[in-house]
Structure 1
Amino acid sequence: MRLIASLTSPYARKVRIVLAEKKLEYKLELDDPWSAQPQVASHNPLGKVPCLLLDGGDALFDSRVIVEYVDTLSPLGRLIPERGRERAEVRTWEALADGVVDAAVAARLEAVWPGRTDAERCQAWIDRHIDKVQAGVAAMARDLGEQAWCCGLHLSLADIAVGCALSYLDFRFPDLAWRTQYPNLVRLVDKLGQRPSFVQTQPPTA
């Protein structure tokens, strides 16, 4: 398998962590989806990373689709329950975490995208999406409570998605005070940060 990804994409990081946790081999192909001619556009008409290229040339895109497929490739450490309420809970956690990332990315692009001048940027748009980020993080903290993991007794995709989302906030929005507000989330993220899959996929600081 070949994974087209960016080292700074939290969606791609989620996929890379799942691949690492499942101990599956793949080739990482770096791409910048914001470049003039991104490689990924040849495989994903939306021009977004990550994109997983399978043997035979088929392409899977959208991180949620990719991680669900990858989780079926090996019985080792299933990250998504097969059925029922537990499955729905894990996927709902993932949707919440991805929604936080969606809002954070929207706010960041409005603030830094070079296609707009400073006069063209909309602070109200940025504030609206930061409000969504903060509401999402508050919901994460409330639902996690004092549990060791988001769902059940073991690591699942829910924890991976939450870890990627909160780490992205640390990376791109260090001024947000989620770490001082939610010690239970800090414990979870710091625990995840000790796993090799998280260490190996840490985005570059520069």
Structure 2
Amino acid sequence: MKLHWSPRSPFVRKVMIVLHETGQLENVERVRTVVALATPPGDDILKDNPLGKIPALVLDDGSCLFDSRVICEYLDTQHSGPRLLPSEGADRITHLRWQAFGDGVTDIALLFRFEYLRDHADPALLEGFERKLRASLTALESEAAALAATPFGLGHISIACMLGQLDLRFAQSNWRLAAPRLADWYAGISQRPSLVATAAKDDAPPAAKDSTSLINFMQKS
């Protein structure tokens, strides 16, 4: 299999964590693929994923899966160990919900940063993104105990990748001070070998504007 991959994509990181957790890492060739919202995608990614997004997983038969949720669920059917996504019942819905939550917050954070880095950012859009991020962090703080009590799975992976993206793109956000129970959970889960091995890294040149201090969760909305 071939994976269109980037070391700074939180959605690619989800797939990489699943590969580590399920022992399938050696089955996948990683292909460094650069995509950006403001840059036309290259022919290499468009050939496999007409949406021009990563991750995209090319299977041995030449077909391609895209969207991290689809890829992760597929990979979870290709191993003999414990499933990262329960097959049925309330536990499955819990992990699907957390996965949607983590992915949704990640989308907001990426759009927030993109808008901020534009030459003429829209203040109303920035305020809207910021309010959604604050509300989401507050909600996840209230679920920290449930996250800790639930066996590790896809929901945890998604939320952990989202928090890792906050550390990468909003390094001075103080989200840990605003959500101490969530921070304790994240500190523990971050020690898993799969998360250590896939820590997000930015291999791109620094942006002209720095977004690391864009938001401070300890300030009032």
TM-based fold match above 0.5: yes
Name the aligned partner's letter for residue 143 of structure 2.
D
Following superposition, the deviation at residue 36 of structure 1 comes to: 4.6
2:75 is matched with 70
Residue-by-residue CA offset, 1:131-187 (whole Å, 9 max, x unaligned): 1122112111112236524xx2x2111111111001101110123221002122112
Matched-pair contact (CA < 8 Å) for 1:106–1:126: no
Distance change in 2, residues 1:147/1:29 (3 Å): closer
Number of equivalent positions: 198
Name the aligned partner's letter for residue 73 of structure 1.
Q
Distance change in 2, residues 1:146/1:123 (3 Å): same
Following superposition, the deviation at residue 123 of structure 1 comes to: 2.1
Matched-pair contact (CA < 8 Å) for 2:144–2:185: no
Distance change in 2, residues 1:145/1:9 (3 Å): same
Alignment of 1:74-153 (within 5 A): 74-112=79-117, 116=118, 118=119, 120-145=120-145, 148-149=148-149, 152=150
Question: Structure 1 length normalisation: TM-score?
Answer: 0.90
After superposition, the CA RMSD in angstroms is 1.6
Name the aligned partner's letter for residue 170 of structure 1.
D
Question: Structure 2 length normalisation: TM-score?
Answer: 0.84
Secondary structure class of the residue paired with 1:78: coil
Matched-pair contact (CA < 8 Å) for 1:43–1:51: yes
2:47 is matched with 42
Which structure 1 residue ranges, 4+ long, deviate > 4 Å from structure 2? none
Name the aligned partner's letter for residue 139 of structure 1.
A
Name the aligned partner's letter for residue 11 of structure 1.
F
Matched-pair contact (CA < 8 Å) for 1:146–1:184: no
Secondary structure class of the residue paired with 2:141: helix
